Amino acid sequence: MKYNPDIIKSNRKTVQLELRADGKLVVRAPKRMPYREIEEYVNSNEKWIERALSKHKTLYGEPLPVYTDEELAQITAFAKAIIPQRVEYYANLLGVTYGKISIRHPKTRWGSCSAEGNLSFSCLLSQMPLEVLDSVVVHELCHRKHMNHSKRFYEEILRVMPDYFEREKWLKSNGKRYSGRLP
């Protein structure tokens, strides 16, 4: 099949095409529909698919990279080498402590801070400009003082990083390009 869609079969009566935000084509089909018929349906809707892909490219740019397990392991190793150093530096600057640091590859968050002070970061931050990585580190460390997004929380961030909102804007605009599709 030309578009290599994800096929999801369920208790439904009709076929539906969907282009997800990550650029992946999804076909939702009835459980008993033969693969051959699904392929015919996709091929008969080629114009819709091409228009959707074109619109997606306009909105989101080129398709996201797909990381292999090996690439993800290398990215994670690099992140484990750099992120703890950045956390230690900014924790000292902010005068806060923290618990464990976890480096993972979540699909939706760049970082988090638990009530116990454990920090978790996406390994993919290590692929971004250091200023952007630092802004996520500072954001999570400031949760050690304020476990919310109050005015005082942002005042604390701006005390050590006056250009925080520019960095956050960059992350919102460009982060998707770095996130890729995880295996």
Q: Give 42-99 pLDDT, tens digit per residue.
A: 999 999 999 888 887 776 666 666 788 898 899 999 999 999 999 999 999 999 999 9
Average pLDDT score, the chain:
90
Q: By three-state DSSP, how is residue 164 classified?
A: helix
Cβ pair 110, 121 in contact under 8 A: yes
**Are residues 183 and 68 in contact, defined by beta-carbon separation less than 8 angstroms?**
yes
Strands 119-122 and 111-113: antiparallel
Residues 106-154: pLDDT tens digits?
Answer: 877 999 999 999 999 999 999 999 999 999 999 999 999 999 999 999 9
Place of tokens 């999804």: 26
Q: Are 5 and 42 in contact (CB under 8 A)?
A: yes
Say if residues 100 and 117 touch (Cβ distance below 8 Å).
Answer: no
Domain 69-179 adopts which CATH fold? Zincin-like (3.30.2010)
Answer yes or no: pTM beyond 0.75.
Answer: no
Distance CA 86, CA 40 (A): 53
Dihedral sign (CA 128, 129, 135, 137): positive
In the three-class reduction of DSSP (H, G, I as helix; E, B as strand; rest coil), residue 146 is classed as coil
Closest CA to 139 of 85, 73, 94, 84: 94
The residues spanned by each domain of the chain are: 6-60, 69-179
